[in-house]
Amino acid sequence: MSAEYCLKHYLEKNNIEGLEVASAGTGAIPQKMNPIVKATLLSLGINPTKHKQRQIQKKHFDKYDLVVAMHKNHLKFIKEHFGKEVPLFDEICYGKKVSIMDCNDEFMSNYRDYIDEVNSYIEYTVKFINNSMPKFVKNVKNFVK
C-alpha cells in the first residue's frame, strides 16, 4: 500500500499521466492502517486515507502491464494461485531480490523498531523514486509483459 501511494504521489507531483498504479495483497483482511505508517505518509504529503484493501485476482494480470510483489511470500502465492512469475519491488528499484516485510508479518520480533525501519524505508524510496525515475522507468520496462 505504501509503495502504491508513494508512486502515485510522485506521478502527480511531476505531472506524469497515463499510468495507473494500484495495490492488492495476497489477503484482504479488513484492518485499520497502522497509525505510524499513516502518519509517516501524511508527513511526506501523501494522503492514504482513501485506501481500500483488496486481494489480488486473475483479472489484475490481464488489466495491468506489470504486477510487482513486495515479499518473497507474495511471489510464492502468485505462482501457486496464478502460475505467474513476477518481480520483487526491490528487484526493479535496486536490482536485488530482497523482500520488504509487511507490518503484519508474524515473524517480526520487535514491532516498534520494525515500524521505524519501514518509515525510514518509505522516505528513502520516495527520495529514490524522485531522484531516479528515468532509471526506474527503464528498469520497469525490462519486466513489463
What would the grid cell of residue 101 be? 516485510
User: Model confidence over 94-130: pLDDT tens digits?
Assistant: 788 888 765 554 444 555 666 667 667 766 776 776 6
2-13 vs 111-141: helix crossing angle, rounded to 10: 50
What would the mean pLDDT of 5-20 be, rounded to a whole number? 84
CB atoms near residue 22 (< 10 Å): 11
Q: Average pLDDT over the chain, rounded to whole?
A: 79
> Which domains can be identified in the chain, with CATH numbers?
2-141 (3.40.50.2300)
Q: What is the pLDDT of residue 102?
A: 58
